Amino acid sequence: MKQQRARSRTGSVTAPLPPALTAPLAELHSQRAGRIAYYADEDGDGRPLLLVHSINAAPSSFEVKPLFERFRGERPVYSIELPGFGQSERSDRVYSPALYADAIATLLEQVIGTAADVLALSLSAEFAARAMLAAPGAVASLVLVSPTGFSARSMPGPGAGRMVHRALTVALWRQRLFDLVASKPSIRYYLSKSFMDTAPQELVDYAYATAHQPGARHAPLYFLSTQLFTRDALAALYAKLTEVPVLVIADRDPYVTFERLPDFVAARPNWRYETLAPHMGLPHWEHPEATCQLLEGFWRGD
């Protein structure tokens, strides 16, 4: 992919975003989701694996780097850069759960082309579930790491989300607001909340870099307004996944809770719940060996 330097709102030159992974970077186009970037290492045999990073102010494929590096060469591994983030299109448009699900389904169908194991982090678990419902034959199994949608607390309605978004995107302060959220101290603080200790410096540095690319504020402001969440995702999405094996890995998380998860999984034979405690939402960073062993067993059907 060709990278170009761009000017920021202050006129200074923004350095091109370096690759999040040391793997070939490609792109495809979707009528709905626009230009979608993804990393791919297609060496190795076996079922393909698609990794989906989370949604926050500064996400990217760097979040799934430990998993990408562990499984590349053993099987084809892909990592999508969701619209509005990383190397994908960051235009000023409406970002929605349907748009993200379309991006995932498009990659599964047009690039991977055969049933894949899919692993998604946090809010992207909802997008992966939605994509699976739209393209059921494209997903062989689903792993949800610290997924949203299992909290006893209900999400605001769409009208409230639109009102919040209008307030966040007032021209007078929208960039200043995002600059505060995307400052390095802020990124370090919020990332470190997802670790038992502190976030790795390399993760903080890359998050800061990706949050300072042209158009970086557009998608996160939809996230902050809660418009990217599916109201009652448990009934609208997860309860409809009745055939394909689903593994949930969740312990503690500073941003989501899981009160409804144990009973939900206990009532569904194709679902499995593991904690891999202790962790705060990113077990593949804090317990990489245990995480990979659990994943391999799940994919074998153990």
Distant-in-sequence, close-in-space partners of 297: CB < 8 Å, separation ≥ 6: none
Nearest-angstrom CA–CA distance, 121 and 119: 7
Cβ-based burial of 53 (10 A; exposed 0-12, middle 13-18, buried ≥19) = buried
Six token digits for residue 291: 């995480």
- Profile the chain (302 residues) by mean pLDDT over runs of 10 residues: 46 76 96 95 96 97 98 98 98 97 97 98 98 96 98 77 74 81 94 96 98 96 93 96 98 97 98 98 98 98 92
Joined tokens for residue 174: 């929208």
The pLDDT, as a whole number, for residue 1 is: 52
Q: What is the largest CA-CA distance in the chain?
A: 57
User: CA 103, CA 100: separation in Å to the nearest integer?
Assistant: 5
CA distance linking residue 168 with residue 188, whole number of Å: 22
Say what the pLDDT of residue 4 is. Answer: 42
The confidence score (pLDDT) of residue 33 equals: 92
- Distance between CA 253 and CA 20 in Å, rounded? 24
Q: Can the peptide bond before residue 19 be classed as cis, meaning omega within 30 degrees of 0?
A: no
Are 191 and 207 in contact by the 8 Å Cβ rule? The answer is yes
Of 104, 92, 121, 120, residue with least CA distance to 216: 92
Tell me the three state secondary structure of residue 247.
Answer: strand
pLDDT at residue 10 in the model? 39
* Rounded Cα–Cα distance for residues 286 and 199 (Å): 10
Give all strands (DSSP E) within the chain, no chain letters.
Answer: 6-7, 13-14, 25-30, 34-41, 49-52, 77-81, 116-121, 139-145, 246-249, 271-274
Give pLDDT, residue 162: 78
